[in-house]
Structure formats: C-alpha cells, structure tokens
Amino acid sequence: MSNAKRFTRSILFVFSLLVAGTMSLRAQGIRIAAAANVQFVIRELATDFEKQTGTVAELIIESSGKLTAQIEHGAPFDIFVSADTNYPIELYKKGFAVEKPAVYAMGGLVLWTLRNDINLSTGTQVLLSDRVQKIAIADPALAPYGAATVTFLKQSGIYEQVKDKLVYGQSISQVNQFIVSGGADIGFTAKSIVLADEMKGKGVWTPLDSTLYAPIAQAAVLLTYGRDHHPAAAAAFYRYLYSQQARVLFLKYGYLVE
C-alpha cells in the first residue's frame, strides 16, 4: 500500500471517529437537576448546548434539598446544578458524584414586590410596615437562598420583628409564585429571577447587602448516573457549564463568576 493511500485511510479513520463522537452526543439526551434560582439561565444554557451538540437536556427544577434527596433515592439525573456547595459535597461524600463539586457562580439576594404602595427606598425597614403582612421566603431547610434570607434578617436585626409575617415556599420558584400571584406582599428571591426576560417590568426590586449573609457559592457535580449511562453527553454538558459561553450567560443573569 502506498504512503498516499495509508495517509488517506488515516484521515478517513480519524474523521469517522469524530463523526461517531458527534452522533453519539446527538443521540443521547441528558437530565439536569437544577436549583430553582437557575431556572431561567439553565434553560438558556441548555438551548445553547443543544445548538452546539444536538444533545437535548431535560430540566428538572426544584429546591436543592429536594433534588439531593431524589438523587440519593435513585433519581436518574446526569448532572446536579445546586444553589450551594453543601448539597453537592454531601452527594460526593456518599458516592453519588464523580468528583468534588466546583463552583460555577455566586448568587445574590434581592427584595421584590409587585405592590405599587410598597416603597423599597427604605430597604428592609419596609418589612416593618403595616402594609406588609406576608413576606415570602424559601424554606431554609431545603433552599440555600432561604437559609441566606434568614441569616440576612437576623444580621439586619429585624428577624424577631418580622418572623410571624414569613410565609415559606418549598423553593425560590414557589416564592416567586407567591409574589406574582399576590399571595405575599413582598419576598426575598434570587437576583437571577428578576433579571430574566420573563420577569422584567414586573414590580420593583432592590439588591441586598451581601455582607449580611454568607456568600451563596453555587456548585455543580457530574453524577455517577450520568457517568454510567450517558458518559459522553453528560461530561460534555458539565464541561460546558464552566465554559466562557456559560460564563457570559451567568453574568447576564446577575451572577458573579470568577
């Protein structure tokens, strides 16, 4: 066989591997368990990833605590995108994650209302007003943003004064529903929510002093289910989550990224 033919066969072999790898990614759908605060950005990330690879990502949105419990009970999720680092670390220690979690972004809290008669110019002091009877927060036992809210209220020195006004959502999604539906007068939610196109122009919000609550470092893990059932596609999305393209989208939604 001539050197030219050997070279041509080598090129064709390499090309066939690349095509096979791409087809493998396209053939595999993946399931991403994502914390409620990332619901809008993760949808945009999944759409962009599908355009690049052809791989469809099904999104399961819930509180980080509930998703962690589901994973521990065998839920077939490939990747877990949490609202903190503690839940992913817990999964890694128990053998549900391939490697130690890595932080993909830092989240922030905001105070949000759709009520025209509630003035946010005074900051959290508005919570003491008689106009505010119900304050929505995420369940601190399930949602890291809820835990951060309780810390913020205590550090602000008003927790005892407002604790009887608090109404708890199982996740940030439910908190948002309370606020939008009027089930709560005001609420604490993620900055990423109010910056989403779907929420722009709805009510008014104000960012909160991040020195009054622990930094909301958000981490993700590639789960062992993903490694075992969809290794190429799951690993590709996990890498994409930390890419420059993803970084741009996280910044768009108000997250801080390194």
The string of pLDDT tens digits covering residues 203-242 is 999 999 999 998 899 999 999 999 999 999 999 999 999 9
Domains of the chain (ranges, CATH numbers): 3-106+216-252 (3.40.190.10), 108-212 (3.40.190.10)
80 closest CA partner among 120, 108, 48, 38 = 38
Please classify residue 4 by burial: count the beta carbons closer than 10 Å to its beta carbon, then call 0-12 exposed, 13-18 middle and 19+ buried: exposed
Q: What residues pair up with 106 in beta bridges, in sequence order?
A: 217, 256
For 79-114, what is each residue's pLDDT tens digit? Answer: 999 999 999 999 999 999 999 999 999 999 999 999
pLDDT at 71 over 90: yes
pTM of the entire structure? Answer: 0.86
pLDDT at 19 over 80: no
Q: Which of 3-17, 63-77, 163-177 has the lowest mean pLDDT?
A: 3-17
pLDDT at 4 over 60: no
Interhelix angle for 86-93 vs 64-72, to 10°?
Answer: 10
Please give the DSSP secondary-structure letter assigned to residue 84.
Answer: S
pLDDT at 194 over 60: yes
Q: How confident is the prediction for the chain on average, in pLDDT?
A: 91
Q: Which two tokens stand for residue 40?
A: 């809008």
The C-alpha R_g of the chain, in whole angstroms, comes to: 22
- Taking the C-alpha atoms of residue 42 and residue 240, their distance in angstroms, rounded to an integer, is 12
Region 183-201: what's the mean pLDDT?
A: 95
Question: How are strands ordered across the β-sheet holding 135-138?
Answer: 166-169, 135-138, 186-190, 109-113, 204-207
For 130-158, what is each residue's pLDDT tens digit? Answer: 999 999 999 999 999 999 999 999 999 99
